[in-house]
């Protein structure tokens, strides 16, 4: 049984029909990327899984349990953590407070995320609003880990970051994958995706247009040209 099963979900913003029947699956310990052009519905898919957007039809099952209609915090407690595109750092809280409010029982402890991101330890007393973009992204990922989820949803974690920082984030994602945590990664940077993913999905106008393993995707250049050329 898949850890997460999304079946034919339709989601709307007001009257605009953003997801027109998205289906995907993520197994235990898998790292999956969700690719697609801007506006294809990648962020909306993540927001639907997290409960921020409530799909009008379809099903989302996590560990076999139905998730649609549950509150955002209930879905988080069930074991799904979202790192949103805007990162959601609390500027009025210190770095350490940002981390502490997320702590829930499990494998990841405060000291573990400080080991993973030594820079956050150095800056633990700084306000969240005093961090650089890269540090904010590290903090957002570290905070999600302290929630000890079974599934981590990442929305464009490398967007707008310097290449050195991107490499650092990639290393961290590899470490996270090694712990056996499942990850659904939305990412525009194909090089990053190919380094990390077990499988890829491509979204096109609110539908899954392609699904394939990392090897299949690497071999099939026509997929890139068809669905991703603009931001390749």
From the list 2, 52, 211, 214, which residue makes contact with another protein (rule: CB under 8 A)? 52
CB 31 within 8 A of CB 222: no
Closest approach of another protein to the CB of residue 134, in Å: 19
Is the Cβ of residue 81 or residue 120 nearer to another protein in the bound state?
81
Is the Cβ of residue 101 or residue 162 nearer to another protein in the bound state?
101
Residue 104 in contact with another protein, rule: CB under 8 A:
yes
From the list 1, 16, 38, 73, which residue makes contact with another protein (rule: CB under 8 A)? 73
- Closest Cα partner for 144 from 193, 199, 106, 92? 106
Residue 90 in contact with another protein, rule: CB under 8 A:
yes
Reduced to 3 states, what is the DSSP secondary structure of residue 153?
strand
Residue 29 in contact with another protein, rule: CB under 8 A:
no
- The piece of 31-39, 91-99, 157-165, 213-221 that touches another protein (CB under 8 A) is 91-99
Residue 142 in contact with another protein, rule: CB under 8 A:
no
Query: What distance lies between CA 41 and its chain's CA centroid?
Result: 14
Q: Which residues lie below 8 Å from residue 40, measured CB to CB, with a gap of 6+?
A: 203, 204, 205, 206
Residue 43 in contact with another protein, rule: CB under 8 A:
no
Is the Cβ of residue 143 or residue 200 nearer to another protein in the bound state?
143
Residue 76 in contact with another protein, rule: CB under 8 A:
yes
DSSP for 29-76, please give it.
T-EEEEEE-TTSSHHHHHHHHHTSS--SEEEEEETTEE-TT--HHHHH
Is the Cβ of residue 22 or residue 81 nearer to another protein in the bound state?
81
H-only helix segments in 101-230: 110-116, 118-122, 133-146, 163-178, 190-196, 214-219, 221-223
Closest approach of another protein to the CB of residue 170, in Å: 24
Residue 84 in contact with another protein, rule: CB under 8 A:
yes
From the list 2, 7, 59, 93, which residue makes contact with another protein (rule: CB under 8 A)? 93
Measured CA to CA in angstroms, residue 62 lies from 6, 49, 219, 229 at distances of: 9, 9, 31, 33
Binding site for another protein (CB under 8 A): 50, 52, 71-73, 76-77, 81-82, 84, 88, 90-93, 97-98, 100-102, 104, 143, 147
């Amino acid at each position: 049984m898949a850890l997460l099963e999304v079946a034919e979900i339709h989601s709307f913003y007001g009257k605009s029909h953003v997801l027109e029947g998205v289906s995907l699956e993520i197994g235990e310990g898998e790292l999956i990327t969700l690719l697609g052009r801007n506006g294809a519905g990648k962020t909306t898919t993540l927001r639907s899984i997290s409960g921020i957007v409530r799909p009008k039809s379809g099903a989302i099952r996590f560990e076999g349990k139905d998730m649609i209609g549950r509150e955002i915090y209930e879905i988080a407690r069930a074991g799904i953590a979202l790192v949103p595109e805007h990162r959601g750092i609390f500027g009025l809280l210190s770095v350490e407070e940002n981390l502490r409010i997320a702590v829930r029982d499990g494998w990841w402890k405060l000291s573990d995320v400080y080991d993973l991101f030594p820079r956050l330890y150095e800056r633990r007393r700084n306000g969240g609003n005093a961090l650089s973009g890269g540090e904010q992204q590290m903090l957002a990922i570290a905070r999600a880990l302290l929630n000890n989820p079974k599934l981590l949803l990442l929305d464009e974690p490398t967007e707008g970051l310097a290449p050195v920082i991107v490499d650092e984030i990639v290393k961290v994602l590899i470490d996270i994958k090694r712990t056996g945590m499942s990850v659904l990664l939305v990412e525009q940077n194909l090089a990053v995706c190919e380094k990390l993913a077990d499988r890829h999905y491509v979204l096109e106008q609110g539908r899954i247009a392609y699904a394939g393993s990392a090897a299949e995707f690497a071999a099939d250049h026509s997929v890139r040209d068809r669905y991703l050329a603009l931001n390749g």
